Amino acid sequence: MRGCGRVDKEFRIDINGLCRFSYPFALGAFDGTHKTMEDLRASLYAEARLRERIFIFANIFLPPLRQQTDPDFAVSVLVGDRMPLAFLNQLRVLTDAVPGVQLVIEPEGQDPKDLCTRIFRRMRRPGTDLVGEFRLDDDDAVALDFVARSRQAGQDFRVPIIERGVAGVDFPAGAFVYFLDDGIVIRRLVKAHLSCGQIIFLRPQSSKSAIKYHHYRMWQKNLYISLPQEMMYLRSVHSHNVSGVEKIVKTKDVIRASESQIDSMIKARFGIDPVALREGWTDLHP
């Protein structure tokens, strides 16, 4: 169910997001290390892994969505139809408690671009003039004003976006949250072209979706706007990452700040209490 925020009746912009929560796509669609779907499911649905992913989802992904300053958005959380029932039920309870967020259960083994495009297109409302689409992993987060700032960017640049048919808006300022065996470390940084800091605007009748545009290459052939003024994303780094995200941060990307300064920024920008987050992570690993 979509949030109940005010919609501009003169120029309507949908803001829609997609989160892929440990969904087993067709073999070879991601890291290519699994030989069978059974092997892939065993890896994704390992109990210890799902326990940690649900903790991060509940404490990183959901809190900023629950507190969005503009509640007129939709986020679909994609899961596989063979996820262990106990964890699936936990996700149902968590997503049902956040307006605008819905759980989408799909048969496993589908092509990622085709499936994600179908889900994105189902979220587009009739009569909308422009659609902004973003994608997150279940361990990412967007700032409290992500929807509001994205919608404003769509309004500000709507003429060239409509003329070209597609455009990317990049929010390169954010933070990486390192979930370690002995605690949590947060580093503030500026890093362009991350999927968790990007939204793609399209005409609502487009057959494509945000998933069709590679986030690192979007700027090369399309209108691309960078808005670095505020911290807009959190990206988690932990033992379950398979994208190599921990290797892309360079020293020049990091903005030096004390732990207390960063904690204050995280609380103000994302509505997350880092102290409580660290305590919960410790309790999960007695």
Q: Where does the pLDDT of residue 259 fall: very low under 50, low under 70, confident under 90, or very high at 90 and above? A: very high
Write the pLDDT tens digit of every residue in 171-198. Answer: 999 999 999 989 999 999 999 999 999 9
Predicted pLDDT at 240: 75
**pLDDT higher than threshold 70 for residue 263:** yes
**pLDDT higher than threshold 50 for residue 3:** no
Q: Where does the pLDDT of residue 1 fall: very low under 50, low under 70, confident under 90, or very high at 90 and above? A: very low
**pLDDT higher than threshold 90 for residue 255:** no
Pairing between β-strand 233-237 and β-strand 173-180 as defined by DSSP bridges: parallel
Predicted pLDDT at 215: 85
Predicted pLDDT at 20: 96
Q: What is the pTM of this model?
A: 0.92
Write the pLDDT tens digit of every residue in 211-227. Answer: 998 887 888 888 999 99
Write the pLDDT tens digit of every residue in 70-84. Answer: 999 999 999 999 999
Q: Are 40 and 136 a contacting pair, CB within 8 Å?
A: no
With tokens 């605690």, the residue in question is 183
Q: List Cα–Cα distances, 85 to 47, 93, 98, 159, in angstroms.
A: 12, 12, 20, 47
Task: Tell me what percent of the residues of the chain surpass a pLDDT of 70.
Answer: 91
Q: List Cα–Cα distances, 204 to 130, 148, 208, 224, in angstroms.
A: 6, 19, 9, 18
Mean pLDDT of the chain: 91
Predicted pLDDT at 177: 95
Write the pLDDT tens digit of every residue in 97-156. Answer: 999 999 999 999 999 999 999 999 999 999 999 999 999 999 999 999 999 999 999 999
Predicted pLDDT at 245: 61
Establish how many alpha carbons lie within 13 A of residue 118's alpha carbon, considering only the half-sphere containing its beta carbon. 8
CATH number of 13-284, picked from 1.10.8, 3.90.550, 3.40.50, 3.30.379: 3.90.550
Rounded to a whole number of angstroms, the CA Rg of the chain reads 18
Q: Which two tokens stand for residue 187?
A: 């580093």
